[in-house]
Chains A and B, each alone.
Chain A
Amino acid sequence: MKGLHLDGVCRQAGGRPLLENLELRVAEGECVALLGPSGCGKTTTLRVVAGLDPLSAGRVLLDGEDISGVDPALRRVGMVFQSYALYPHLSVADNLTLGLKIRGVPAAEREERLSRVLSLLRLQDLRPRRPAQLSGGQRQRVALGRALLRQPRIMLLDEPMSNLDAQLREELRPELRALLSGAGHPVLYVTHDQQEAMGLADRIAVLDQGRLQQVGDPRELHHNPANRFVASFLGRPAINLFPPLEGRQLAVRPEHLRVVSGGGLPARVVRAEWNGPQQVLWLDTAAGLLRLLWPASSAPPDTLRVDWDPEHTLAFEASGGDRLPRPDPAWNGDLIRFLQH
């Protein structure tokens, strides 16, 4: 079995579970994004795979081989840290080749590998510079170069974009995507930014409180979320959750709400957020605050009525948040009627 396999990985620290029974496969050449709020265990997962943190149960398998007990230095893992963790006192060239020097790679081979990576990342001119003399984007490339130079069997990236400004982030995304998919090893990419996850990854693994919530491609997660957490974590503006009723909670995405002339829910427009391509209207209704997408060019009215196609309704268990089968359209109508009073 080629690729990375996390087999029931658990990690506890200080009596607190950080990862619980994590089961995840990343194929060769595949990029899986670990997505979740801060403290959900994304970075811990990377550190366990790299061998920087010990696991308390389970196994990490790479190409079928159990590497759980292997020293991090011997795992051939390329990792890009959130802070980049470049050695501040060394030049770009020395930052990249320190590991090779330590491993006793001959100078000629070192030089050859170095110049190959430098030209791949367009860093040739920066060879003698110190990290402090580089821009954020250049530092990121150096950190990536250091990971690539190791000829890693697996690539781990911990929020490599979070130190860059929004515009640069968007510019670098395709470049990073090309670099990562070209190499043919499994890639684990940690982020809390869903745009980034959708733009970079083949599949997304959503984590919350150390538990894997759902793995799938972006579309699947968006249209078919496994539970309430995934439904509300993914998608901007966030999904509309209705008040729980009879042990169930219904939800509809803002883009699926439609304005109707009769019937539906009466709503008052409280706020309009204009964001360029469209506006997000905040509606005060009997079902609480709802978000609705509205064309950017036209001014919204003060009051309107909204409805939705029962086909787009998602239902969750009110207490645990687990996904329930799509409710009967009649039940959907009941909800609207209930809310109208």
Chain B
Amino acid sequence: MMRALLLAWSLGPLLWQLRTSFLLGEVLVGGGVPAGGSPWTLANYRLVLAGDPSLARVLLNSALLGGVTTALTLLLALPCAYGLHHLHGRPRAWISAGLVGAALFPTVLLFLSLLQLARWFGLANHLLALALPYTALSLPLAILLLRAAIADLPSELEDAARLDGLNALQRLRRIVAPLLAPAVASTGLLVFLASWNEYPIALTWLSRSDRLTLPAAMGRIASSSVFTIPYGPFAAATVLGSLPLLLLVLLFQRWIISGLTQGAVKG
């Protein structure tokens, strides 16, 4: 019973959006079904896919940006986390405290200064340039998550590798990184999700319609008309925008679950 309620609580709005996306605009605002017709339609999907920019293009932009951000973040976070794990005493405590502070900082406060930077360096309207601030903002949390996962690995494994003659970089690449796969997958997904959802920086950095990311494009759809709220197209865009994430989660499900619960119980 509790489970059913919980499921309705979290899945309900999604299912409602799905229903909305297939309904005619007239039906949505309380008008009747046109005589002799069905209330169901694919018009909303056609509209967002044919719009300017096409939602397909927008999704591609977001996926590309998310992929680059995730790859860059993981590539930097893994060695940082590994190095931090091997630091001792005061430096480690200070750096960790700094990372927690940075991870907790509300990023929305940064978008004005970031916009200034984009102007100086001419980064506006370059889609992949957004990966720079996104990576910078995701790094603290990613480093902390990966460091916790590294701390859970038995230290004798690294000792054994040292005796086998592996230097720090070889140990990271051949022993630590492969064993961290679940943690890397779940951290990567969180980073990708953050990039997928980010609105204020994308809104201020990008203006050309063929460069828009999903949140910025959704903002345009929502404000496309002063007189009506385009519920139908908006719902269709929402459904299409969440499909890639659903796919990612399904793909990495096994790893992500083991990654999120890592350390809860000693193996």
Contacts and interface: CB of A to CB of B under 8 A. Distances in A.
A103 B164 CA distance: 8
B152 interface: no
A179 interface: no
A88 B179 contact: yes
Interface string B197-226: 000000000000000000000000000000
A79 B164 contact: no
A81 B160 contact: yes
B156 A82 contact: yes
Interface string A72-100: 11110101011101111100000000110
B181 to A, nearest CB: 8
B174 interface: yes
A103 B163 contact: no
B114 interface: no
Contacts of B161: 87, 98
A52 B159 contact: yes
A83 B156 CA distance: 8
Contacts of B162: 52, 72-73
A308 to B, nearest CB: 47
B156 to A, nearest CB: 4
A79 B165 CA distance: 13
A102 B164 CA distance: 8
A93 to B, nearest CB: 14
Contact of B159 (A74, A75, A85): A85
A106 B159 CA distance: 24
Q: Counting chain B CB atoms within 10 Å of each CB, which of A74, A85, A146 scores highest?
A: A85
A47 B163 CA distance: 11
Nearest to B170: A102
B154 interface: yes
Interface residues of B, number: 17
B163 A72 contact: yes
A102 B168 CA distance: 12
B8 interface: no
Interface in B161-207: 161-167, 170, 174-175, 178-179
A126 B113 CA distance: 60
Interface in A141-181: 146, 150
A47 B156 CA distance: 11
B92 to A, nearest CB: 15
B157 interface: yes
Contacts of A88: 179
A50 interface: yes
Contacts of B167: 73
A87 B175 contact: yes
Contacts of B174: 98
A150 B163 CA distance: 9
Contacts of A79: 159-160, 163
A77 B166 CA distance: 14
Contacts of A52: 159, 162-163
Given A52-B159, A81-B159, A89-B178, A99 B154 contact: no
Contacts of A75: 163
Contact of B165 (A73, A86, A89): A73
Contacts of B170: 102
A150 to B, nearest CB: 8
Nearest to A102: B165
Interface string A57-75: 0000000000000001111
B165 A99 contact: yes
Q: Counting chain A CB atoms within 10 Å of each CB, which of B156, B161, B175 scores highest?
A: B156
A85 B165 contact: no
A337 B157 CA distance: 60
Contacts of B166: 73, 98-99, 102
A312 to B, nearest CB: 44
Given A82-B156, A98-B174, A102-B170, A89 B179 contact: yes
A20 B157 CA distance: 28
B89 to A, nearest CB: 10
A83 B148 CA distance: 21
B156 A77 contact: no
Contact of B163 (A73, A82, A86, A89): A73
A50 B163 contact: yes
Nearest to A143: B160
Contacts of A86: 160
B154 A83 contact: yes
Given A52-B159, A98-B174, A85 B164 contact: no
Interface in B113-165: 154, 156-157, 159-165
Interface of A: 47, 50, 52, 72-75, 77, 79, 81-83, 85-89, 98-99, 102-103, 146, 150
Interface of B: 154, 156-157, 159-167, 170, 174-175, 178-179
18 contacts: A50-B159, A52-B159, A52-B162, A73-B163, A73-B164, A81-B156, A81-B159, A87-B175, A88-B179, A98-B166, A98-B174, A99-B164, A99-B166, A102-B164, A102-B170, A146-B164, A150-B163, A150-B164
Given A86-B160, A88-B179, 5 more contacts: A52-B162, A81-B159, A85-B154, A87-B160, A102-B164
Q: Which 9 A-B pairs rank lowest in CB-CB distance, beginning with the nearest?
A: A99-B164, A85-B156, A73-B165, A85-B160, A81-B156, A89-B178, A102-B165, A85-B157, A52-B159
